[in-house]
Amino acid sequence: MSDHVTILGIETSCDETAAAVLTRGPDGTVEILAETVHSQIEEHAPYGGVVPEIAARAHADITDSVIAATLEDSGLALVELDGIAATSGPGLIGGVMVGMMTGKALAMAAGKPFIPINHLEGHALSPRLAEACPFPYLLLLVSGGHCQFLDVTGLGSYHRLGSTIDDAAGEAFDKLAKTLGIGFPGGPAVERLATQGDPARFDLPRPLLNRPNLDFSFAGLKTAAARVVENEPLDDQARADLCASFQQAITDCLSGKTERALAEFKGQHSGATRLVVAGGVAANQTIRAALEMVAKDAGATLIAPPLKHCTDNAAMIALAGAERLVAGRMDEDGLAFAARPRWPLDETSAQADPAYGGGKKGAKA
């Protein structure tokens, strides 16, 4: 396989139907030839959150046309690609299966390799869409469904340092937004209102912040905010103050734990100074500013993907596919790969010490 490859990426793990065509050069440089992201915000907004059955149907209705439009924009035919990559887990299983099976069908029709991609690996590699980001680096993956630290030493080499023991930060933002009735998606809605509020107005908890480990917990914070809404009459200013206080609590938890994680990471990797933040919550400007300060104080560099590539997108899936194709790091038969609703990046740690949950489908995180 040449080290210059062009890949079609497909992403359908939650409520965005996305496709991208990307070229990875011999030196690792990336050119995005075309990308499309179709949001389902209007479909889910009345419910204040993503409804899995609605998401799956919406993906089934539009995935083929999104891919066709993206290929047309790229100026390439299917047969000119080197491979097809699709998110094959973790995520809402109905949506995951739509994108994965579409990718498999296209790969079979064109006689191209199919590359199943872990959605979290897409986020882990997403900063490399815009700039060089050599291994190793400390990754803070923070999104609607995930919140964890990973020591990233190479493609496919991820060691979990800490994780949420209950809710993810993005999930907590969404819950507050739903409780206040301020719109969906919740994270951006809370961030907008927080710009008008006083972050010191409400004394909200910082769960686990003073514990010596690198785990997170946001369930208690979520409950504390819900009690404020339940027990106090909130005018518009008070709602903004609650959003600002809630955002500050999450920022303190993330930045405080990151400071500790960086010290541990630098102790393990002498001279390694890269901190990567990825996932939808990485688009929050208050959180980014706090992490910038943590990195600066530690003599490290914060690297984050462009804002449009923080949330779910297919460019990161195409990049992960290109990296795996070039490195020869693929399943022996990608077409036989089964969709996975749960797929930890560090499966060894997840099985030995699940951060939360488990059951017949495997460890959640």
Query: Could you tell me which of 12, 16, 19 has the C-alpha nearest to residue 33?
Result: 19
Domains of the chain: 5-127+312-345 (3.30.420.40), 134-304 (3.30.420.40)
- Cα 20 off chain centre by: 17
Q: pTM of the full predicted structure?
A: 0.92
Burial code (b: 16+ CB inside 10 Å, e: under 16) for 58-82 equals bbbebbeebbeebbeebebebeebb
Output the pLDDT for position 359: 38
DSSP assignment of 43-109, as one string? HHGGGTS--HHHHHHHHHHHHHHHHHHHHHHHT--GGG-SEEEEEEESS-HHHHHHHHHHHHHHHHH
Confidence band of 331 (pLDDT split at 50, 70, 90) = low
Q: State the average pLDDT over residues 129-157.
A: 93
Instruction: Say which amino acid occupies 337.
Output: F
pLDDT digits (tens, 9 = 90+) for 266-316: 999 988 889 999 998 999 999 999 999 999 999 999 999 988 999 899 999
pLDDT digits (tens, 9 = 90+) for 210-257: 999 999 999 999 999 999 999 989 999 999 999 999 999 999 999 999
Confidence band of 7 (pLDDT split at 50, 70, 90) = very high
Question: Checking DSSP bridges between strand 157-163 and strand 147-154, what pairing results, if any?
Answer: antiparallel
How many CB atoms within 10 Å of residue 159?
15
What token pair was written down for 169?
Answer: 């930060």
What token pair was written down for 20?
Answer: 């991208």
Is omega for the bond preceding 188 within 30 degrees of 0, making it cis?
no
Whether residue 161 is predicted with pLDDT greater than 50 in this model: the reply is yes
Q: DSSP character for 216?
A: B
**Residue 325 contacts residue 82 (beta carbons within 8 Å):** yes
Confidence band of 330 (pLDDT split at 50, 70, 90) = confident
Question: Checking DSSP bridges between strand 137-142 and strand 147-154, what pairing results, if any?
Answer: antiparallel
Q: What contacts 262, CB < 8 A, 6 or more positions away?
A: 138, 275, 294, 295, 298, 300
Whether residue 357 is predicted with pLDDT greater than 60 in this model: the reply is no
Output the pLDDT for position 1: 57
Output the pLDDT for position 352: 66
Question: Checking DSSP bridges between strand 137-142 and strand 274-278, what pairing results, if any?
Answer: parallel
